[in-house]
Amino acid sequence: MRKKLLKFYSMLIIVAILSNISIEVYSKPLRVNAISAIAIDGNTGIVLFEQNGHKVIPMASTTKIITCLVALKYGNLDEKFEISKNAASIRGSKVGYKSGETVTLRELLHGLMLKSGNDCAIAIAEGMSGSIEKFCNLMNEYALQIGLVDSHFESPHGLDSMYHYSSAYDLAIATMKAKEIKEFNDIVSAKLVDGAENGFTRSFQNINKILYQIPEANGVKTGYTGGAGKCLVSSVKYDNSDIIIVTLNCSNRWEETKRIYDFVKENYTYKKIVAKDEILGQVSVGDEKNKIDLVSDRDIIIPVKQDQVIGKEVQIPKAVVKKDVEAGENIGMVVITNEKSVLMKAPLKTTKGFKDKNLIRFIKEAF
């Protein structure tokens, strides 16, 4: 009897102890079946998920994002290019243009991005620059201009070659830049393009399955070669932004892209950190008596992870600005941070101008 009572009281003590223990469950960091993967916010470039994001590897036809971006920046969409024998005979995926056909750059870009046409890529390069080599030089120059540091291009189509490579991060940044252009968004988000309605020689159906599998998806580009494996760059609408997701050398790219998108939705919400025209500081101009307010010219809305502490630091010149200042001129910046790092920087704008009427300074500058 005594043993039974001891056992009973022991059980009561264990229950009492357990009832006062709070168990914290930590979710495991997401790991996807890809050599390299990343997700960034399409408005700010803030990294939301990363797995070997800067690893330099082949990227197959996702190369064509850069080809399209360069063509939109430097080309005339209504200009017609003749399809060369070189373009018509290129291997891999193509639209099927015949040597001697003349096609507008606008149509070629649709064939490039919807059908992953290698013949379109060659025709664009030869038509715009005269040769593939010269066009690739333009691609590499422009890549540096927009901050791509992990990339080098040897072709406009992305077939395997030794010195043709990029990273998930670079492709995400290039896509963010490209999505600033309306024509790019119109092309990569289209599921079906009627040739007759658009004055094209052919109609196009988009081979990018992500557009059909995620209702919020609005682009961007698939890719596959033996060396690069299966690749995918996607853009998916979330809140008032786009989440740009890149998976490289990923055998189940559609499913892993969905997993990354779900991870972002579950872990991030968008918050307004700075309001448009909010006065964040003042700068002294001419002399210390003259003050001009400094504001952000836009709402700064960023993705914030659960329980993340966000701070903002306003950086303004301490010295008096002894020069004429225009309204809307960039002076100083606001820096948005979390507990570990800087998330983004945005310029501050002057709310009004100032003309220094100091005659002595004017005479000195004149001479």
pLDDT band for position 61 (50/70/90)? very high
Active-site residue, from 36, 64, 167, 189? 64
Whether residue 19 is predicted with pLDDT greater than 50 in this model: the reply is no
Whether residue 168 is predicted with pLDDT greater than 50 in this model: the reply is yes
pLDDT band for position 324 (50/70/90)? confident
Give the model's pLDDT for residue 112.
Answer: 98
Active-site residue, from 36, 93, 116, 189? 116
Active site residue 64: yes
Whether residue 13 is predicted with pLDDT greater than 70 in this model: the reply is no
- Angle, helix 105-114 to helix 118-129, in steps of 10 degrees: 150
For residue 326, give the H/E element and its range.
none
Residue 201 burial (10 A CB sphere; 0-12, 13-18, 19+) = middle
Identify the CA nearest to 228 among candidates 62, 58, 61, 35: 58
Active site residue 116: yes
- How do 241-248 and 36-41 pair as beta strands? antiparallel
Return the DSSP state at 304.
Answer: E
Whether residue 285 is predicted with pLDDT greater than 60 in this model: the reply is yes
For the segment 175-199, the average pLDDT, to the nearest whole number, is 98
Give the model's pLDDT for residue 6.
Answer: 46
Average pLDDT, the chain: 90
**pLDDT exceeding 90 applies to what percent of the chain?**
78
For residue 253, give the H/E element and its range.
helix 253-267
Whether residue 359 is predicted with pLDDT greater than 60 in this model: the reply is no
For the segment 101-106, the average pLDDT, to the nearest whole number, is 98
pLDDT band for position 358 (50/70/90)? low
For the segment 307-334, the average pLDDT, to the nearest whole number, is 88
Residue spans of the domains in the chain: they are 36-268, 279-366
Residue in the structure block whose two tokens are 């990343």: 38
Q: Is 148 helix (H, G, I), strand (E, B) or coil?
A: coil
Question: Which of 3.40.710.10, 3.90.1150.10, 3.30.460.80, 3.40.50.300 would CATH assign to domain 36-268?
Answer: 3.40.710.10
Give the model's pLDDT for residue 197.
Answer: 97
pLDDT band for position 367 (50/70/90)? low
Q: Is 301 helix (H, G, I), strand (E, B) or coil?
A: strand
Residue in the structure block whose two tokens are 């740009």: 244
For the segment 26-47, the average pLDDT, to the nearest whole number, is 89
Give the model's pLDDT for residue 361.
Answer: 59
pLDDT band for position 25 (50/70/90)? very low
For the segment 308-326, the average pLDDT, to the nearest whole number, is 87
For the segment 138-144, the average pLDDT, to the nearest whole number, is 98
For the segment 251-269, the average pLDDT, to the nearest whole number, is 97
Whether residue 242 is predicted with pLDDT greater than 70 in this model: the reply is yes
> According to CATH, what is the number of the domain 279-366?
2.60.410.10
pLDDT band for position 8 (50/70/90)? very low
pLDDT digits (tens, 9 = 90+) for 198-239: 999 999 999 999 999 999 999 999 999 999 999 999 999 999
Euclidean distance between CA atoms 318 and 329, whole angstroms: 17
For residue 288, give the H/E element and its range.
strand 287-295
Give the model's pLDDT for residue 253.
Answer: 98
Give the model's pLDDT for residue 319.
Answer: 80
pLDDT band for position 133 (50/70/90)? very high
Give the model's pLDDT for residue 364.
Answer: 61
Give the model's pLDDT for residue 354.
Answer: 82
Active site residue 167: no
For the segment 160-171, the average pLDDT, to the nearest whole number, is 97
